[in-house]
Amino acid sequence: MLELNTENTRPFISSDRLGSIKSRVESAHGAVLGKTGAGSEFLGWRDLVLNPNDALLEDIIATATRIREDADVLVCVGIGGSYLGARAVIEALTPFFPTDHGPEILFAGHHLSGAYLKQLLEYLDGKSVYLNVISKSGTTLEPAIAFRVLRHWMAERFDDAGDRIIVTTDATRGKLNELRGAHGYRKYVIPDDVGGRFSVLTPVGLLPISAAGIDVRELFYGAAEAAKQLSSRVDNPALEYAAIRYLLHEDGFTTEVLAVFEPRLSAIASWWQQLFGESEGKEGNGLFPAAVQYTTDLHSLGQYMQDGRRNVIETFLIEKNPESGLNIPAVDGPEDGLEYLVGKPVSHVNRKAFEGTAQAHADGGVPNLTISIERASAAELGSLIYFFEHAVAVGGYLLDVNPFDQPGVEAYKSAMYQLLGK
């Protein structure tokens, strides 16, 4: 199970203040468990890990096995929660650079770049391609355009194009069900009671993750174990995280930065950014969530984090025992000033960079927390995913907002469709 270190928030929040909102936090927690809060009809993300559907898991694994055997590339078409969760887990658990083991997983439909789609088609030419389009309505503009382009391209190149396209969508409604009826595409269902940003442990995320060669049983059951542990009111890090964030928000802090020190965790931070931004950013409330990659961004944002406006809090996501990678070698020739590091793993230097950053930022007036996992693995990431989902649900209720809707997202769509003449 992950660990939460709150030491660097103690100068900013007293234990008495935490105690003063204990009953409110427990009430919010109870609303999640008992389905009594706003938007409770969208708590299916919790139900599905407490009542695993092993038959569905095995079916997904079988489909993914076929893709791994037949495809050079799997293109996943979706936006927001329809791709961020899958990308997060895949990038965290697969090699940085392409290998010959299994298909390459690519994404489309997460923006409106015509240049990207054109170059994607050029890259796919001559390869064995499978396509997974993920959309509950089937009408969200970005993935709908990408899917139209890609299915047209596939129909021109593969006699069995219908067998290579998989739709992940609503059980009965939406445009993708109409297209499936016409073309016979294989289908997976997005549960009605699970919103997009909470859907990574449904077929939305599990199929691409499994196609990437990751054990989705371990991922899923890591989340299931976390759901059981985080049902308690005692020693519950999700409740502590939610409470500290809420108190800092009430003190006038406006922004939370989630910082990772391993590049492979950067996409986890991007998934977190959507989860918290869409769940809490309503009615003038919520911390603005921003994802950063350290130490890279310390050389661009480091000055601001250390000496800028004191309205930012920081959460570090680290591995306690990361893959060590290389040791720093001894070399011949003139000294380069690194002799004191000879023989040490680069991961050791990265760890000290984290420790120094956390201390310096706290000393500079930035409250910070640290979430630690043992090492990036399917089970640990499953636990982390559930931890953040539970924490944001509790946090939304503390802010008196519905953490499961996103009315603001519809505003840009309305304006865009009007301008396009729909």
> Could you tell me which of 194, 326, 238, 221 has the C-alpha nearest to residue 6?
238
Tokens of 202: 């449904």
Q: What is the four-CA torsion angle of 295, 298, 300, 304, rounded to 10 degrees?
A: 160
The C-alpha atoms of residue 331 and residue 334 are separated, in whole angstroms, by 9
* 136 catalytic per annotation: no
Query: Which among 122, 156, 299, 335 is annotated as catalytic?
Result: 299
Backbone torsions φ then ψ of 78, nearest 5 degrees: 180, 170
The C-alpha atoms of residue 186 and residue 162 are separated, in whole angstroms, by 8
| Strand pairing category for 104-108 and 73-77 | parallel
Backbone torsions φ then ψ of 165, nearest 5 degrees: -110, 130
Angle at 225 between CA 313 and CA 219, to 5 degrees: 80
The C-alpha atoms of residue 15 and residue 4 are separated, in whole angstroms, by 16
Query: Which among 22, 228, 352, 413 is annotated as catalytic?
Result: 413
| Angle in degrees, 0-180, between the axes of helices 141-157 and 114-124, rounded to the nearest 10 | 30
Backbone torsions φ then ψ of 348, nearest 5 degrees: -65, -40
* 278 catalytic per annotation: yes
Which residue do the tokens 């921003």 mark? 290
The C-alpha atoms of residue 182 and residue 162 are separated, in whole angstroms, by 10
Query: Which among 262, 278, 280, 314 is annotated as catalytic?
Result: 278
The residues carrying an active-site annotation are 278, 299, 413
